[in-house]
Chains A and B, each alone.
Chain A
Amino acid sequence: MNLQFIVDGLISGSLIGLGAIGITLTYSILRFSNFAHGDFMAWGAYGTLSVVAAIGALVGTTAPMGALSFGWPLILAAIAGMIMTACLALVLDWLLFARLRDRGQSIIVVMASFGASMALRSLLEFIFTSSPTYFSRGIQMAIPIGFGIRITPDQMVMLATTIILVTAMHLFMQRSQTGREMRAYSQNPSLARVVGIDTARVVRATWIIGAALACAAGVMVGILVQIRPLMGLDLLLPMFAAAILGGIGSVPGAVLGGLIIGLSEAAAVQLIGAEWRAAIAFAILMAVLLVRPTGLFGRAER
């Protein structure tokens, strides 16, 4: 048996998990399923690509770092992209979601996010066309690491980046005052106001974190696969599955859920057949929910 699926699954699983953090936070704090979350990934990737191009135009071509396919401009651009995506989410909230949220019916907000998703995607197709593009067209050599498994330097760096981002996020939610306020708000919004929490600040923090992580995941997909306007939409269902599997509101849960979905999809492709990919992931999701309806790390409220 070829164990390569483990690396493939870990990679796609960590990308799914990174995106699922935003979904799980929006769901537990703003109380709606944000179907535009995948499009934040795509916008983040295209935004980063544009900044890379701008840097290239200013300073000329730069050599990639070591064995990686990209150089420092991409890192800088990704940070700029995260800020831009966060701004996009805040503007969208101000224009659309905040107004509808005040009316108190979450299904209306969900439908609005569907609309926003389509609009954002069409806008990308309009500006950048629907044909795929790449951060780098170079081909990387995969390095054998034993047991018949190969991994590219890019993949190693992306895995490490994911681990750092997720750990930082977890510590932020557990240790920082803003993280505590976000958890408090998700458990009881009106009590949060009573204890002096500025709920508008919590809402802003949620959008900024969710969108920035979506951008990071989008850039990683761009580096490892390709950039397309539909890239976020393709990952939307797996991301929701990961958030639900891990338990709504749980950051480690979303990541673990992502890894389980990614690994089981990769295993299904190798062991059963590529056509069973999505089916296996959702079979696992349903099996877990039958045993633990609140997901792996989810806890029943009150």
Chain B
Amino acid sequence: MSILDVKCLIAGYEPGLSIVKGASIHADEREIVVILGPNGAGKSSFIKAIAGLVPVTGGQVLLDGHDITYGAAHLRVRQGLAFVPQTDNIFPLMTVEENLRVAGGVLQRGEVQSRIDETYTMFPDLARQRKLAAGSLSGGQRQMLAVGRALIVHPRVLMLDEPSAGLSPKFVELVFARLNEIRRAGLTIVLVEQNARAALAIGDRAYVLVEGREAHEGRAATLWDDPVVAELYLGQRRHA
């Protein structure tokens, strides 16, 4: 059974103006699912709607069989669905450690420190800068902090909105390598990406979102060469 099952989701900021127009995806355990699509396809709104940040007007979001479609965003985190936004994904005026600690509100008191230590083992850079204001971190380190913070509660599904945005190629490689490790540790990952090549390299399955709906689904390894996909999304760029 899929751990995350999104059925025909309709969502948008303004009533009557849907950006997500009936998109469906599913993700199985330990799977990396990539959502691609041209600019303005509604990828970002789609993943935010699954996270509970964009009002949903129709469809269903099932997490491990439980309907969470209309639940509050903060409750989804507790139920095991974590989300890393693309921008402004850290609290810049708080220290690195406070950024991690603030996400541990639902954990037992004794648990928080051991989870923070876990994060430091995974991202040693953060351990060195634990007392610094998070706003002083580099782009790559911010992304690590945001991912580390999302993992603090041991979610079952980790969703990321363009984790490679604004990062240098070296960091992109590093972030994707880490995501692959996280998946091997037992998590399911759903990510929206512009950087299709890097994302498809670690992904298992991929969806192409066009105009608020999923227009194509396929195995990540072969999606790049699929002529339908080329037509839908990659066409102009690849034949240019």
* Chain A interface (Cβ < 8 Å from any Cβ of B): 177, 180-181, 183-184, 187-188, 190-199, 299, 301-302
Contacts and interface: CB of A to CB of B under 8 A. Distances in A.
Nearest to B52: A193
B92 A196 contact: no
Contacts of B72: 193, 198
A180 B101 contact: yes
Q: Which of B83, B90, B103, B153 has the most CB of A within 10 A?
A: B103
- Max chain B CB contacts within 10 Å: which of A184, A192, A299? A184
Taking each of A181, A188, A194, which has the highest tally of chain B beta carbons within 10 Å of its own beta carbon? A194
Nearest to B104: A177
Nearest to B73: A193
A183 B105 CA distance: 14
Contacts of A177: 101-102, 104-105
14 contacts: A177-B101, A177-B105, A180-B94, A183-B91, A183-B94, A188-B88, A190-B85, A191-B89, A191-B90, A193-B53, A194-B84, A195-B102, A196-B78, A301-B92
B106 interface: yes
Q: Which 9 residue pairs spanning A and B have beta carbons closest together?
A: A196-B77, A193-B73, A195-B103, A180-B102, A187-B91, A184-B102, A196-B74, A184-B91, A193-B74
B135 interface: yes
B149 interface: yes
Contacts of A198: 72, 74
Interface residues of B, number: 29
A183 B93 contact: yes
B135 A180 contact: no
Majority DSSP secondary structure for residues of A touching B? helix
Interface in B77-116: 77-78, 83-85, 88-94, 98, 101-106
A181 B74 contact: no
Contacts of A183: 91, 93-94, 98, 102
A301 B93 contact: yes
Contacts of A299: 93
Interface string B42-74: 000000000111000000000000000000111
B138 to A, nearest CB: 15
Contacts of A197: 74, 102, 105
Report which residue of B72, B77, B84, B93 has the largest number of chain A beta carbons within 10 angstroms of its beta carbon: B93
A181 B85 contact: no
Point out which of B72, B85, B105, B135 has the most chain A C-beta atoms below 10 A from its C-beta. Answer: B105
B94 A196 contact: no
Nearest to B51: A194
Given A187-B91, A194-B83, A299-B93, A180 B98 contact: yes
Contact of B153 (A191, A196, A301): A196
